[in-house]
Amino acid sequence: MSEITDQIPSQIQSELATLNFDLDAKIPAKKLDKNLLIATWNIRAFGDVTKKWESEDDDSPKRDFHSIACIVEVIKRFDVIAVQEVKGNIRALRYALKLLGNNYSLILTDVNRGKVGNDERMAYIFDTRRVQLSGLACELVVPEEWQKSVGEEVMKEQFCRAPYAVSFKSNDQTFILVTLHILYGKKSTDRINELKGIANWMAEWANDLNAYHQNLITLGDFNIDKRGDLLNETFIESGLFVPPALQSDEVTRSIFDETKYYDQIAWFQNKKGVNNLSLEYNTGGNYDFMQTCLINRPLTKVQKSWMLSDHYPLWVEFNL
């Protein structure tokens, strides 16, 4: 049986070379002590793997070593990446770390239990040459006072998948990332309370002078249907700011529907529109892997979604 540490087949090596050429052109390079690259990626059902370089029709799951190699080449481009939909079975994640090598590390939650938790974990993968943990790791929970309040705009239960906050340090900059995967629900209005809840939670934290640190960035799958809809307005109302580069119609989130606005990277602005960050934002975007990954195999878009993802990774670059 094949192992992920085996010699990569020559045809896959050739494809990975093409993938890296495209990544070079579309994502900024890591520059020592000069920049910081942060990303988020909902990697569809990132759990088990078929231990072959190319899975066959009767294999389950369809995700194979070829898929993992492509995912890893994308992950390598970032200093820290928040990953959603890591499953209870972390075989795919363990194989990805083997390919990434000793310079990369991981911090993640336990499994979110219950039906709405969907057997999911929240994870961060980071390049230890560029980013280190700086002490804080916690899950966000709804305060008891919120649950006792009366009103349609107050959460009365916990987040279905608890947002996960971790603090990092790069060069002399410390920052807290909060990753989340909002409840999808049966209809879009089912997501409003969770969106308001996380936005209010973050706003209070950002305004708290005694907080661990004020460099707060939230990222992940907000399950926002489209630009300008009620969910987006709810998200922005609290002062969370999505950089213009990520608001462009060209920066799509879903491989199936370009109008969806699911994934976000955002932070707070003050009342004067000034970013509440000591980090200096530079640019951002997505990465479309559909034309560079698994391109020599007769796969449908749906099949690719289970091997790679149905979401594109989203990223931002800060100057240090």
Does position 50 have pLDDT exceeding 90, yes or no? yes
What percent of the chain clears pLDDT 70, i.e. is strictly above it? Answer: 79
Q: CATH second-level architecture of 10-319?
A: 4-Layer Sandwich (3.60)
- What pLDDT sits at residue 155? 45
Average pLDDT over residues 200-207: 72
Average pLDDT over residues 269-276: 72
Angle at alpha carbon of residue 265, lines to 101 and 131, rounded to 5°: 35
Structure-model confidence comparison of residues 198 and 73, the more confident one = 73
Q: What is the pTM of this model?
A: 0.90
Number of CB atoms found within 10 A of residue 284's CB: 23
Average the pLDDT over each of 58-72, 195-209, 236-250 and give the range with the smallest value: 195-209
Average pLDDT over residues 79-87: 96
Average the pLDDT over each of 44-48, 172-176, 233-237, 255-259 and give the range with the smallest value: 233-237
- What pLDDT sits at residue 85? 92
